[in-house]
Amino acid sequence: MAQSRVRDGAKNPGNAGSGAGSPIGRLRLPLWAWLGGAASLLAASGASGALVWNHFTGKYLPGCGPESGCASIENHPLGKFALPGALADWIGFAWWPASFLGFTFFVALLAAWLVCARRVPSALRLAVWAGIAASVVYIGAIVHALSGGKAFCHYCVASHAANFLLLAFMEIGMMAGRRSMAGGAAVRAPRGGWLGPAVVGAAVFFGATGALAHAERGKVTREREASEAARAEAERALIAQAERARAQQTVREDAWNFGPQGFTGRWRKGPEAAPVRIVIMSGYQCPQCKRIEGEAQALRAKHGDRISLSHKHYVYNADCNKYLNGATLHSNGCWAARAAETAGILRGNDGFWQMHAWLFDRGGGFTDEVFNAALVEMGYDPKVFVPVMMSDGSLRPVQADIDEGFALGISGTPMVVINGIEFKGWEAPRALERTVEALLATDPPAATSANDRPVLAREKYVADWRDETVRAQPADTVRRVRGSHDAPVEVVVFGDLQEPNTAKIDAQLRDWLDLAPDRGGKPIRYVFRHYPGDKTCNTRLPRTFFEHGCLTARAAEAAGLLGGDDAYWRMHVWLLQNQQGMGMEAVRRAAIEIGLDAEALISALINPRVNAAIQEDINAAVALGVGQIPCIYVNGKFVRRWWRENDNVMERIIDEAAATPR
C-alpha cells in the first residue's frame, strides 16, 4: 500500500510539494528543453557580458554607436545602482552597473542549470522567475524609452529575450516531464536536493561579482588618477594666477570680445568682486552638470561671498545650437535654457536662479502640463511666461552663450572656468571642493571678472592634443604610407573614401607632402587606414552612413593588390575627388583612368586579401575606440579637433609636433 501511495503521488504531481524529494524536484527535463535552457542562458550571459566589456573598454559595441541606447545605458535611472555609503567607501566606488548584476546572475544561473543535470529544484525555478520579474521591469523601461523617441539598447533586449526563452524551455519542459511521469515512463531523476546547485551558483555569482568589483576598482582608480592629475595642474595654474594678480592687474586684448565685464554669466550668485569666480557652462539635461552644480552651490553655502557663481548655457540640441550639424542629444535642452532665461527676464537674478534650480531638479525635462503647474506654483501666469519663452528674447542669450562656448573650443559639458582658467579634472572625487579650498588658502585678492579671459579654441585645441596620451597604433600588415620613413611627424587617418571631411584632410596632407618646405610643405609621414561608414563590411556600426564606403575601400585595396602602392594612391585620390555618383560603373571608369585593367580590378574586389586588409583596419579602429571619421592621430596622440572655420588647427599641431622630440 505504501508503494501504491508513492506511485499515485508521482502520477498526480499537483498533490505533492515542490521540494527536492517532490515530483518537481525529481523531474528530469527532456534533453531538448535542458539544452535550450542552457543555450538561452549562454546567450543572455553573452549579451550582458558585451555590456560589461563596453563599460570597461569604452569602445562601441557592434550595432551601437555614440548616440545609441547602449552608449548611454548607465545614465538611465535603472542603469546602475547606488551602493551604501560604508560599502562604497570600503570598495572604492559608489555605483554598481546593472549590466554587472545581469551578467553575474546569468552566469551563476547557467552554472546551476548545468549542475542540476536536467532536474529543476524549486530553488532554481524560483531564481528563474525572479530573473523574469526583473526583465519585466526593464522591458517596461525600454518600451517607455521608445515611446519617448529615445534609442534602446540592443544587447539589453537580447539578454531579456533570452531570459524569457529560458523560462519557456523550463516550463514547457516541466510540463512534458509531468506528462511522461503520468504515463509511467522512466523520466524521474534520482532523489537529490537543491544544495549542490545552490552552492555552485552562489560560488559563481560571488566569484564573478568579486572579479568585476576588482576590475571596477582598478578602472575607477585609473580614472581618478587621471582626473586628479588634471585637477592638480589646474590648481597650480589658479594659484599662480592669484600670485600674479597680487602684483598687477591688467586688461588684455582678446580675439573674442568678452566685453569689459570679462568672462562671466548674466546671472550671478555672490558679489561682483570675489576671490574665487566660478563660471559653469552646462545644460539642464546633462547628469554630470547637475553634479558639478551641486558641488559649486555647496561651496557657495560654505564660503559665502568669497565665491561667486554664474551660469552659461551650452545645449546639445540642434534647435538652438548651430554647431552640432543637426545632432541632438538633449531633446528638451533648448526649451529648458529658454525657460531659465525667461524667468530672469521677468524677475531678474532671483527669478533665474529659482527656475535654474527647478530645472536641474527635474533633469531639464518637462511636459506642458507639468511646466504650467510649476509656473503657477512659482507665482507666474503661464499666459505671460510662455509667450516670452517662445520669443527671440529668450533665445538670443542662449545662442550668445553657445557662440562663446564654441569660441572657447568646448568639447563637452560641464565646462568649468575658475578665475578665467578652464578647470580640467573636475571628474575626480571632490575635485572642485579641494581645488577651491586650496586656492582660498592662498588668500587671493577679491577681483571682478574683468581680467577673466579663458584660452580660446585656437590655443585650446593644440593644448588638448598636447595633453593626450600616446596610443600605440595596432598592427597594419598592408600599410598605405606616403612620405619619408624618417619624418618627425606621423599622421594616421582612419577615414571613409566617401566622407567629405576625409577628402578634406587627405587633400591637405598630400599638399603638405608635395610642397617644398619653403613653400609650406610639412615633414610628415601620412598613413591612411580604412574605417568605412558602411555596415556591409563594418558590422560594428549602428547603421550605414555612406552607402558605398565598403565598395570604395575595396576598390582602393584592389588597385594596390594589382599595381602596388602607386596604384593604390592613384585610386585613393581618384575616389576622394569623385565621391558623387559612386557605384560599380564609377569604379570601372576609375580603373581605366588610372591605367588599370577594369575587369581585373572588378575581379580583385572579392579577393580575400582585399577584405582582410580592410578588416584589419576596422579592428584597429575598434581597438583604439574610434567613434568619428575622420579620426586622426599625430605622433600617436588623438586630435580632438583638427579644423574650425578660418583656423587650420592641424597645421599648428603638426608644427608643434615637428618641433617636439618624440
Are 621 and 531 a contacting pair, CB within 8 Å?
yes
Decide which of 149, 168, 193 is a domain's last residue.
Answer: 193
223 assigned to some structural domain: no
| Structure confidence at residue 75 as a pLDDT band (50, 70, 90) | low
Mean pLDDT of 18-40: 72
CATH number of the domain to which 19 belongs: 1.20.1440
Mean pLDDT of all residues belonging to the chain: 86
User: Do 537 and 447 have their domain in common?
Assistant: no
Q: How would you label 233-245 residue by residue, b for 16+ Cβ within 10 Å and e otherwise?
A: ebbebbbebbeeb
What is the spatial distance between Cα 164 and Cα 157, in angstroms, rounded to a whole number? 11
| Rounded mean pLDDT, 310-328 | 90
Helix (H) or strand (E) holding 633, with range, is strand 631-634
Does residue 204 fall inside a structural domain?
no
Exposure pattern of 518-557 as b/e (b: 16+ CB <10 Å)? eeeebbbbbbbbbbbbbbebbebbbeebbebbbbbbbbbb
**Spatial distance between the Cα atoms of 228 and 435, rounded to a whole number of angstroms:** 10
In the chain, the number of structural domains is: 3
Pull the grid cell for residue 569. Answer: 594612391
Are residue 513 and residue 628 in the same domain, yes or no? yes
**Alpha helices for 79-184 (secondary structure H):** 85-91, 98-115, 122-147, 154-182
Cα dihedral sign for 300, 287, 282, 645? positive
Instruction: Assess whether 410 and 274 both reside in one domain.
Output: yes
User: Helix, strand or coil for residue 363?
Assistant: coil
Q: Which of 64-78, 79-93, 143-157 has the lowest mean pLDDT?
A: 64-78
The whole-angstrom separation of Cα 11 and Cα 178 is: 8
Sign of the dihedral through C-alpha 281, 285, 289, 294:
positive
Sequence-distant (6+) residues with CB within 8 A of 57 are 625
Residue 543's pLDDT is 86
637 has which bridge partners? 634
Residue type at 351? G
Q: What average pLDDT does this structure show over 437-456?
A: 92
Note whether 520 and 652 are same-domain residues.
Answer: yes
Is 582 in contact with 447 (CB distance < 8 Å)?
no
Print the domain residue range for 130: 2-193
Q: What percent of the chain has pLDDT over 70?
A: 87
My answer on whether 438 and 516 are in the same domain is no
Q: Which of 80-89, 183-192, 535-544, 601-610 has the lowest mean pLDDT?
A: 183-192
Distance from C-alpha of 371 to C-alpha of 165, rounded to nearest angstrom:
43
Q: Is residue 434 domain-shared with residue 496, that is, in the same domain? A: no
158-162, 180-184, 217-221: which is most confident: 158-162
Residue bearing cell 558602411:
534
Q: Based on the domain organization, do 165 and 119 belong to the same domain?
A: yes
CB 436 within 8 A of CB 307: yes
What confidence tier does 6 reach under pLDDT thresholds 50, 70, 90? very low
Grid look-up 580592410 returns 614
Q: Pull the grid cell for residue 453.
A: 579671459
Closest CA relative to residue 553, chosen from 605, 493, 486, 627:
605
Q: Which of 104, 106, 100, 99 is nearest to 166 (CA)?
A: 106
* 3-state DSSP assignment of residue 296: helix
> Which three three-digit cell numbers place residue 173?
519542459
Question: Are both 413 and 523 inside the same structural domain?
Answer: no
Structure-model confidence comparison of residues 253 and 330, the more confident one: 330
225 inside domain: no
Q: CA 183 from chain center: how many Å?
A: 57
The pLDDT, as a whole number, for residue 93 is 79
Is the pLDDT reported for residue 186 higher than 50?
no
> What is the rounded (10 degree) CA torsion for 234, 238, 244, 246?
-170
In this structure, of 243-247, 519-523, 564-568, the range with the lowest mean pLDDT score is 243-247
Tens digit of each residue's pLDDT (9 = 90 or more) over 618-662: 999 998 988 889 999 999 999 988 887 778 899 999 999 999 876
Q: Are strands 489-495 and 631-634 parallel, antiparallel or unpaired?
A: antiparallel
CB-CB neighbours of 568 under 10 Å? 22
Average pLDDT over residues 1-6: 39
Q: Which residue has the cell 570600503?
A: 90
Among the candidates 411, 438, 454, a domain finishes at 454
Could you tell me the pLDDT band of residue 354, with boundaries at 50, 70 and 90? Answer: very high
Decide: 280 and 454 in contact? Cβ < 8 Å: no
List Cβ neighbours of 354 (8 Å cut-off, separation of 6 or more).
343, 347, 378
pLDDT at 236: 73
Instruction: For residues 140-165, give the mean pLDDT.
Output: 79
Same-domain status, 505 and 579: yes
Residues 450 and 486 in one domain: no
pLDDT digits (tens, 9 = 90+) for 373-423: 999 999 999 999 999 999 999 999 999 999 999 999 898 899 999 999 999
Most confidently modeled range among 326-330, 357-361, 537-541, 626-630: 357-361
Residue type (1 letter), 445: P
CATH number of 356's domain: 3.40.30.10
Does a structural domain hold residue 261?
yes
Q: Which amino acid, residue 172?
A: I
439 within some domain: yes
Regarding whether 381 and 513 lie in a shared domain, the answer is no
Going through 210-306 in order, the beta strands assigned E by DSSP cover 268-269, 276-282
- Check residue 272 and report its DSSP letter: S
Are both 445 and 486 inside the same structural domain? no
Kindly give, in sequence order, each residue whose CB lies less than 8 Å from that of residue 17, ignoring residues fewer than 6 positions away: 24
Does residue 475 form part of some domain?
Answer: no
Q: Specify if 228 maps to a domain.
A: no
Whether 316 is in a domain gets the answer yes
Q: Read off the pTM.
A: 0.58
Q: Among 550, 526, 523, 554, which Cα is nearest to 659's?
A: 523
